[in-house]
Amino acid sequence: MQRGTKEAIGKFVPWILPIVLLILWQMLVKFGWLSTRVLPAPSDVVVAGIRLAQTGELSRNLMISTIRAIIGFSIGGVIGFALGLLNGVSRPAEKALDTSVQMIRNIPHLALIPLVILWFGIGEESKIFLVALGVFFPIYLNTFHGVRTVNPELIEMAKSYGLRGWNLFSKVIFPSALGSILVGVRYALGIMWLTLIVAETITLDSGIGYMAMNAREFMQTDVVVLSILMYAMLGKLADSITRTLEKKWLKWNPNYQSV
Amino acid sequence: MNRTNGADVKIMGLTKTYGQKAVLQDLDLDIAPGEFVAIVGRSGGGKSTLLRLIAGFEQPTDGGILVDEMPLKRRNKTTCTMFQNDRLLPWQRVLDNVGIGLQQKNWRQLAQQALEQVGLGDRAHEFPSVLSGGQKQRVALARALVRNPHLLMLDEPLGALDALTRIEMQRLIEQIWQKQQFSVFLITHDVEEAVALGDRVLLIEHGQIALDMPIPLPRPRQRKSQAFVTLSEDILERVMGDSSDVVNTASKESLETAHAC
Ligand SMILES: Nc1ncnc2c1ncn2[C@@H]1O[C@H](COP(=O)(O)OP(=O)(O)OP(=O)(O)O)[C@@H](O)[C@H]1O
Ligand SMILES: [Mg+2]
Provide residues of B within 8 Å CB-CB of chain A: 55, 57, 75, 77, 80-81, 83, 85, 87, 89-92, 100-101, 103, 127-129, 143, 147
From first to last of its 261 residues, chain B has per-residue pLDDT tens of: 444 688 889 999 999 999 889 999 999 999 999 999 999 999 888 999 999 999 988 899 998 898 887 888 767 778 999 988 899 999 999 999 999 989 889 999 999 999 998 999 999 999 999 999 889 999 999 999 999 899 999 999 988 888 888 898 899 999 999 999 999 999 999 999 999 999 999 999 989 999 999 999 998 899 899 999 999 999 999 988 765 554 444 444 444 444 444
Binary contact (B85, A159; C-beta < 8 A): no
Residue B251 neighbours by CB under 8 Å, 6+ apart: none
Residues β-bridged to residue B201: B38, B213
Question: Residue A217: what pLDDT?
Answer: 83
Q: What is the pLDDT of residues A71-99, one digit of tens each?
A: 999 999 999 999 999 999 888 998 899 88
Helix H segments across chain B? 47-54, 94-98, 107-117, 133-145, 163-180, 191-197, 226-240, 243-260
Is B147 close to ligand 1, i.e. is its CB under 6 Å away? no
Residues of A in contact with B83 (CB under 8 A): 153, 157
B239 with B41: CB under 8 angstroms? yes
Query: pLDDT class for A39, splitting at 50, 70, 90?
Result: confident
B74 with B239: CB under 8 angstroms? no
Question: Residue A42: what pLDDT?
Answer: 87
Separation in Å, CA of A34 to nearest CA in chain B: 54
Share of chain A above pLDDT 70, in %: 97
Question: Residue A1: what pLDDT?
Answer: 53
Q: What is the mean pLDDT of residues A5-12?
A: 83
Separation in Å, CA of B81 to nearest CA in chain A: 8
Q: How far apart are CA A208 and CA A214, in angstroms?
A: 10
The distance of Cα B252 from the centroid of its chain, to the nearest Å, equals 32
Q: What is the pLDDT of residues A195-234, one digit of tens each?
A: 988 888 876 678 888 888 888 888 888 888 898 888 888 8
Orientation angle between helical segments A113-120 and A174-202, nearest 10 degrees: 80
Domains of chain A: 1-29 (no CATH), 41-256 (1.10.3720.10)
Taking the centre of ligand 2 as the mean of its atom positions, its distance from the CA of residue A241, in whole angstroms, is: 45
Domain ranges of chain B: 9-78+152-158+180-260
Is B203 close to ligand 1, i.e. is its CB under 6 Å away? no
Residues β-bridged to residue B21: B18
Q: What is the rounded end-to-end Cα distance, in angstroms, of chain A?
A: 18
Q: What is the mean pLDDT of residues A230-242?
A: 87
CA-nearest residue, atom 19 of ligand 1: B44
Taking the centre of ligand 1 as the mean of its atom positions, its distance from the CA of residue B148, in whole angstroms, is: 29
Is B23 close to ligand 1, i.e. is its CB under 6 Å away? yes
Is B49 close to ligand 1, i.e. is its CB under 6 Å away? yes
Question: Residue B242: what pLDDT?
Answer: 61
* Ligand 1 pocket, mutate which of B27, B42, B47 (most atoms under 8 A from CB): B47
CA-nearest residue, atom 18 of ligand 1: B46
CA distances from residue A4 to A184, A247, B259 in whole angstroms, order as listed: 35, 21, 70
Residue A25 neighbours by CB under 8 Å, 6+ apart: A34, A39, A41, A42
Q: What is the pLDDT of residues A167-196, one digit of tens each?
A: 999 999 999 999 999 999 999 998 998 898
Question: Residue B97: what pLDDT?
Answer: 95
Is B42 close to ligand 1, i.e. is its CB under 6 Å away? no
B50 with B190: CB under 8 angstroms? no
A155 with A167: CB under 8 angstroms? no
Question: Residue B184: what pLDDT?
Answer: 95
* Ligand at shortest distance from the CA of B249: 1
Residues β-bridged to residue B202: B39, B212
DSSP for B89-156? -TTS-HHHHHTTT--STTHHHHHHHHHHHTT-GGGTTS-GGGS-HHHHHHHHHHHHHTT--SEEEEES
Query: pLDDT class for A2, splitting at 50, 70, 90?
Result: low
CA distances from residue A113 to A108, A199, A201, B36 in whole angstroms, order as listed: 10, 8, 12, 71
Q: How far apart are CA B56 and CA A160, in angstroms?
A: 9
DSSP for A110-129? GGGHHHHHHHHTTSHHHHHH
Query: Best interface-test mutation with B: which of A252, A255, A256, A257 has the largest number of B CBs within 10 A?
Result: A252
For the domain made up of B9-78+152-158+180-260, give the CATH fold.
Rossmann fold (3.40.50)
B223 with B196: CB under 8 angstroms? yes
How does B87-124 read in b/e, with b if 16+ C-beta sit within 10 Å? bbbbbbbbbbbbbbbbeeeebeebbbebbebbebeebb
Q: What is the mean pLDDT of residues A107-135?
A: 89
CA-nearest residue, atom 12 of ligand 1: B23
Q: What is the pLDDT of residues B127-156, one digit of tens each?
A: 999 999 889 999 999 999 999 899 999 999
Q: In terms of Cα–Cα distance, which of B9, B12, B10 is closest to B62?
A: B12
Residues β-bridged to residue B37: B185, B200
| Strand-by-strand arrangement of the B183-187 sheet | B79-82, B151-155, B183-187, B36-40, B200-205, B208-214
Question: Residue A259: what pLDDT?
Answer: 44
Sign of the torsion angle spanned by Cα atoms A189, A194, A197, A201: negative
Q: Is the peptide bond before A40 cis (omega within 30 degrees of 0)?
A: no
Please identify, by atom number, the ligand 1 atom nearest to the C-alpha of residue B84.
27
Question: Residue B257: what pLDDT?
Answer: 46
Binary contact (B75, A253; C-beta < 8 A): no
Binary contact (B129, A252; C-beta < 8 A): yes
Query: Best interface-test mutation with A: which of B53, B87, B131 has the largest number of A CBs within 10 A?
Result: B87
Question: Residue A121: what pLDDT?
Answer: 84
Residue A254: pLDDT over 50 = yes
Question: Residue B255: what pLDDT?
Answer: 44
